[in-house]
Amino acid sequence: MAATVSAALRYVNSNLDQLLPERAILTAAREVGHRWRQRKLGPAQTVVLLVLQLLCGNASLAEARALDGYRVCVAALAQARQRLPLELLRRVNDWLLGQFALSVVAADPSAPPRVWLIDAANYYLPDTAALRRRYRQPRQKRRAGDYPQLRTLNVFDLRSGLLLTQHDFASDCHESPQLRHVLDRIAARAGDVIVLDRGFVSYANLCLLQERGLHVVARLPKGLTARRGSRRTRRTGAGARLGKGDALLRWEKPARRPRSCRISTGGWRQLPMQRDLRQVSINVAGPRKGSRCRHLTLITSLLDPQTHPAAQIAAWYRRRWEIETDLRHLKSTLKLEFLRTQSVANVRRELLLRAIAYNLVRAAMLQAATLRQLEPQRISFADACRWLRLTQAAGVSLLKLLINPQRVRRSRPRKLKYRGKNYRWLTTALAPQRRVA
């Protein structure tokens, strides 16, 4: 069997085989009890070709067929993808993460705390009845002719940029109640730090993180800052004020369970009546000299200013923007904003294959950064993708990868400069539009 698979992978870049050897895929297939026949498209060949398809800018299955030397047809490749168990793909992705000692660090109580970045992302889906029923459309963008959309809640490692897990849910649901699903999937240990946006700040989520021994650093919405007469008041007495813009506060549980809260009534009653937190106010300088500073209010469960000074908490939240860069690499650099599969099961397979492809690029960046003694973010993501994808790069040293200069993040308006083609929007079902045409 191994000889057959090795002969089938002769067209694949050897650099990819260094980071994802076929033995790892076959071992995962045996562990989940997957049985297959000796054929051109076994599990190892199928996974590698589908990953290469995604690394080629989300090309079609015809591109993967060409990468395999035109030995199989497109229909056979689609059937081979459908035969892959979801658990096999999860184990392959977990094996990749384990190569960078994430599981070892999680099991070592003396290791420093890790910092996770969590945020949601939207993807477009093919317009099929099954996907429209399962994932629907965002509430603010419901039009008859629009594509259904999928939302994922993603967890990234701050240091390495690896995508640890993702949870898919309907596009008309808020991401805040989905937090418990991703926490069940990551190998977090007590003391790890979760950096969140203000959309995740709620009393239920804060209690959920405290129950699991995790610390939080998040931005407070304007209406939730501590003030007199509210359920969030500053503590009084010695030690309550920790410094300029740094104070301890007490957050009391709301009298009624919010409608958006997914906890049952009995579970809501069991939550503690109050929580002691820390409120840190910071100023973020503008992109240019003389521009106006932005005033942000952060909340955290790290109460000791000696162990975790306000400057460290502010630095962690400033780096929260890196998750937006990671999602941009997924959507723009790899061109994965649109999913191609047309069933719910295949959509989940495609999401796992995307995670494997993305983490392979990050693995190459981590190895190159180790060789050059640099931060992994300095290595070019696009160049690492080319190193994995192009057969001309086989055997080329990772020292050849491009290094990005030190860049200062600049604020940009959320507007498009390219206006596209001058066609009207499709706002009704497709059949009436065909009759008009």
385 and 8 Cβ atoms separated by less than 8 Å: no
Report the distance separating Cα 68 and Cα 7, nearest Å: 11
pLDDT of 289 above 60: no
The phi-psi region of residue 213 (left if phi > 0; otherwise alpha if psi is between -120 and 50; otherwise beta) is left
- Calculate the average pLDDT of the chain: 84
Q: What's residue 10's pLDDT?
A: 56
In terms of DSSP bridges, do strands 215-219 and 232-234 run parallel, antiparallel, or are they unpaired?
Answer: unpaired
Q: What's residue 232's pLDDT?
A: 59
Q: What's residue 5's pLDDT?
A: 44
Rg (CA), the chain: 24
pLDDT of 4 above 50: no
Report the distance separating Cα 252 and Cα 397, nearest Å: 57
Percentage of the chain with pLDDT > 70? 84
262 and 291 Cβ atoms separated by less than 8 Å: no
Tell me: the pLDDT tens digits for 203-238? 899 999 999 999 999 998 877 776 655 555 655 544
User: Pick the residue with more confidence: 408 or 320?
Assistant: 320
pLDDT of 54 above 70: yes
φ, ψ (nearest 5 deg) of residue 196: -125, 160
Q: What's residue 185's pLDDT?
A: 87
Q: What's residue 233's pLDDT?
A: 61
Average pLDDT over residues 409-436: 70
Tell me: the pLDDT tens digits for 376-421? 999 999 999 999 988 788 888 999 999 998 876 666 677 777 777 7
Report the distance separating Cα 385 and Cα 52, nearest Å: 10
pLDDT of 7 above 80: no
Cβ-proximal residues to 166 (8 Å cutoff; 6+ apart), any chain = 152, 153, 154, 155, 182, 351, 355
Which own/partner pairs from 423-426 qualify as long-range (CB within 8 Å, at least 24 positions apart)? 425/143, 425/145, 426/145, 426/146
HEC profile of 224-286: HCCCCCCCEEECCCCCCEEECCEEEEEEECCCCCCCCCCCCHHHHHHCCCEEEEEEEEEEECC
Report the distance separating Cα 58 and Cα 207, nearest Å: 40
Q: What's residue 209's pLDDT?
A: 92
pLDDT of 287 above 60: no
φ, ψ (nearest 5 deg) of residue 215: -95, 155
Split at pLDDT 50, 70, 90, the class of 29 is: very high
Split at pLDDT 50, 70, 90, the class of 161 is: very high
- Lowest-confidence pick of 45-54, 104-113, 173-182, 297-306: 104-113
pLDDT of 2 above 50: no
pLDDT of 261 above 50: yes
User: Pick the residue with more confidence: 55 or 8?
Assistant: 55
Split at pLDDT 50, 70, 90, the class of 291 is: very low
Q: What's residue 104's pLDDT?
A: 38
Buried b (16+ CB within 10 A) or exposed e, 101-116: ebeebeeeeeeebbbb
Split at pLDDT 50, 70, 90, the class of 260 is: confident
pLDDT of 288 above 80: no
pLDDT of 374 above 50: yes
Here the tokens at position 152 are: 């994922």
Tell me: the pLDDT tens digits for 69-126? 888 899 999 999 999 999 999 999 999 998 875 543 444 555 678 899 999 999 999 9
φ, ψ (nearest 5 deg) of residue 280: -120, 125
